[in-house]
Structure formats: C-alpha cells, structure tokens
Structure 1
C-alpha cells in the first residue's frame, strides 16, 4: 500500500518555516560550501538600473536589508564589503521572506 501525498504534508506556521529554512541553509553550507556567488548575483540583479522595475527592486532589497537589521548606511555597500554576521543576517532575512511568501494567497487578483 502506497502513501498518499496528503498524508505526509505537515502544516507549519511562518516561524517554523523560517527555522526549517535556516536549518537547511546550515546543512547546505556543510555539504556544498557558501553561496556567495548566488548572493552577489542576486544583489547585482536587484541593483540593475536597466530593469524597468529598478526602483521597486531597490525597495525590495532595502526591505531585506532592513529585516536583517543592517544599518541603512550599509544598504548600498558591495557584497564583498558585508561582514560575515551581516551575510548571515541577510540569509536569515531572505529565508524569512521565503517562509512568509509561501503563505501568500495562491490566486491574487487586482481590483478594477
């Protein structure tokens, strides 16, 4: 007898999801090393002035830095200038956003 997918789904609140994502990030670091290249790519993409959503991308990146408790004066530094504590906080903030976004309503509609 096989298991049905519904029987193995575990409901988690946002805090549990964040903890799980941070734990997975720790395991990935042990297995594969750091994700510096991916973080650099992400930050550069968010700061791409040619993107038509440039201003909103900068605001979104600023929100991630804010959630990571990184001082506003440091929001515009290059990735290589971030301290290891700031990088860890940044990854934690990104995982927090991932957890919260996963709880968004599935079919959003725009009002007329």
Structure 2
C-alpha cells in the first residue's frame, strides 16, 4: 500500500518545528560529526559583505539574529570562529527559530497602496 502525499503531512506548531530543527542539529553533530563551521563562516562573510547593496539591512538582520541568541551587543562584531561554544549553540538555535517562524510567513505578501 502506497502512502499518499497528503496523508504524510503533519502540521507542526512553530515551537515544535524549532524543537525538531534543534534536535536534528544535535543528532547530526552526535552521529555524523557534522561541523557547520565552514557554512557559518561563509554566512558571516556574505552577510557582512560591504559591497552588497543591502549591506546595512544585512548587518541589521545579523544583529537581530545575534540578539535573539542573547549574544551581547559588544560581541556582534566577532567572527564566528571567535564565538564560544555556548554562543555558537545559541546562534544555531536562534537561526533554527527563525527558520521555523519564517515558514509561517504569508505566502504572497504585497505592499499596500
């Protein structure tokens, strides 16, 4: 018997999605030794690229992520490699939280007249 597409879907709350994403990150680290440092260094580099036309907005977005991770403003200019283990974990949890809530954004947003 085949499993139909709609029957495979399960709606999760934002909190459940965050927990699941964090759980997957933990399992990935434990079982596969997956180290995301290279990807995080790339992310920091791209978001801090001063030649990007959205540099100021990108910088604000990164500050928002770091704020969500409870990383003090005095540490917002630090490179990923300079973050402590606890700060890295908090940052990944904050990014997973954003992933979960962004998935709840309306699909077709428009500007009001």
Q: TM-score, normalised by structure 1?
A: 0.96
RMSD over aligned Cα, in angstroms?
0.9
Indicate the residue corresponding to 2:26 in structure 1.
26
Indicate the residue corresponding to 1:65 in structure 2.
66
- Distance, in Å, in 2 between the alignment partners of 1:83 and 1:61 is 17
- Distance, in Å, in 1 between the alignment partners of 2:91 and 2:59 is 15
Structure 2 residue runs without a partner (length 5+): none
* Counterpart secondary structure, 1:51: coil
- Distance, in Å, in 1 between the alignment partners of 2:83 and 2:22 is 19
Indicate the residue corresponding to 2:107 in structure 1.
106
| 1:2 Cα deviation after fit | 2.0
- Distance, in Å, in 2 between the alignment partners of 1:33 and 1:107 is 35
* CA deviation vs aligned residue, 1:32-77 (integer Å, no higher than 9, x gap): 4210000000011110000000000000000000000000000001
- Distance, in Å, in 1 between the alignment partners of 2:43 and 2:14 is 23
- Distance, in Å, in 1 between the alignment partners of 2:16 and 2:34 is 24
Indicate the residue corresponding to 1:48 in structure 2.
49
Aligned residues: 112
| 1:17 Cα deviation after fit | 0.3
Deviating beyond 4 angstroms after TM superposition, the runs of 4 or more aligned structure 1 residues are none
Q: TM-score, normalised by structure 2?
A: 0.95
Further displaced range: 90-99 or 76-85: 76-85
Structure 1 residue runs without a partner (length 5+): none
